[in-house]
Amino acid sequence: MKSVRKVVIPVAGHGTRVLPATKSIPKELLPLVDRPLIDYVVNEAFDAGIDHAVLVTGRNKGAIEDYFDHAFELEAGLEGKKKTDILNDVRNTIPKAGALSYTRQQAPLGLGHAIWCARQIVGAEPFAVSLPDVVMDGNTGCLAQMVEHYKKTGGNIIAVERVAPEETNKYGIVAPKGEAVGALFEMSGMIEKPAPGQAPSNLAITGRYILQPEIFDLLEKTPRGAGGEIQLTDAMDALMKEQSFYAFIYEGVSHDCGDKLGWLKANIALGLKRPEFASKLKDFLDDIS
């Protein structure tokens, strides 16, 4: 069984849920405490042992590439002013040479199409998918947990989390197949935003996947679905008829930072975990509550 060495991160979206903030700034560069969202997502993958990230970009997203490159004038200025700590923080954002690839999605044809655009770089091997506006917060990274389970099961794995039964109409919900083994169980299907009371479970799909390369052929044949876009869920449904799919209840919390309120909550939650901010931030929250 081949190991998971690559992750595909689709970063071509317009960030419409957080406009006007994303009118001139890619949503992936919105700050979360003191780093942009994309930094958290890329490093989660590297911490999981993945050694190559494929970013599927679009027009006006060049700033993302710049973020992961040297900023020579900035670095020289910091070095000249002996601001060593800040300089090290800046240089630590740069992955090792060859660890990132970029490919362009020329038209906004959906998540499934964005993943398909990475097919030549990924090749015929299993790969991960991470949505860049979903930041996972846990003692161990979500992808690291998934990779460990993948080594035992193979197949395809989707990260899920429990939501309130009355809120299933906000999420894609998985249908269990049989009993869970620990945090992992087989799936029989997926339903997009089922009405409360009609959902097969309260386990919602979050933004992390491990998929087999056969998904690319299915994406190429998948007709446009909801919103006139090529939907990844449609291709996964087709692949589920041929291969095993597992849902994984990860240990941690997801933050939907592509949503204004979700982004605000994430900044507070992660800020409270930082020793240099926690006490004063908590005092501030107490004062305004």
Residue 147, in any domain of the structure: yes
> Which element (helix H / strand E) includes 32?
strand 31-32
Full residue range of the structural domain in which residue 123 is found: 6-288
Percentage, residues of the chain above pLDDT 90: 72
- pLDDT > 90? residue 32: yes
Q: Is residue 162 assigned to a domain?
A: yes
pLDDT in tens, 237-283: 899 999 999 999 999 999 999 999 999 999 999 999 999 999 999 99
Q: What is the CATH number of the domain that holds 279?
A: 3.90.550.10
How confident is the model at residue 59, as a pLDDT? Answer: 86
Q: 182 to each of 134, 141, 251, how far by Cα in Å?
A: 24, 18, 12
Q: Give the model confidence (pLDDT) of 215-236 as tens digits.
A: 999 999 887 766 677 889 889 9
Residue 14 confidence (pLDDT) above 90: no
Q: Quick one: pLDDT at residue 230?
A: 83
> What is the signed CA dihedral for 262, 157, 96, 276, rounded to 10 degrees?
30
Residue 145 lies in a domain: yes
Note the pLDDT of residue 192. Answer: 79
Q: Is residue 1 part of a domain?
A: no
- Can you tell me the mean pLDDT for 179-191? 82
Report how many domains make up the chain.
1
Query: Can you tell me the mean pLDDT for 58-87?
Result: 93
| Averaged pLDDT score across all residues of the chain | 92
pLDDT (average), residues 141-155:
94
Q: How confident is the model at residue 124 (pLDDT cuts 50, 70, 90)?
A: very high
Q: What mean pLDDT is predicted for residues 130-137?
A: 95
Structure pTM?
Answer: 0.92
Torsion of CA 14, 17, 22, 23, to 10 degrees: 80
Strands 100-104 and 52-57: what pairing? parallel
What pLDDT was estimated at residue 227?
Answer: 66
Residue-level pLDDT at 155:
93
**Is residue 273 in a domain?**
yes
Q: How confident is the model at residue 100 (pLDDT cuts 50, 70, 90)?
A: very high
Residue 180: pLDDT over 70: no
pLDDT of residue 147: 96
What are the angstrom distances between the C-alpha of 225 and each of 113, 128, 137, 211?
11, 23, 32, 20
Q: Give residue-wise pLDDT tens across range 104-113.
A: 998 888 899 9
Instruction: Give the model's confidence band at 17: pLDDT under 50 very low, under 70 low, under 90 confident, else very high.
Output: very high
pLDDT greater than 80 at residue 56: yes
Q: What percent of the chain has pLDDT over 70?
A: 98
- Residue 74, helix vs strand vs coil: helix
Bigger pLDDT: 289 vs 153: 153
For residue 226, the model assigns a pLDDT of 65
- 141 lies in some domain: yes
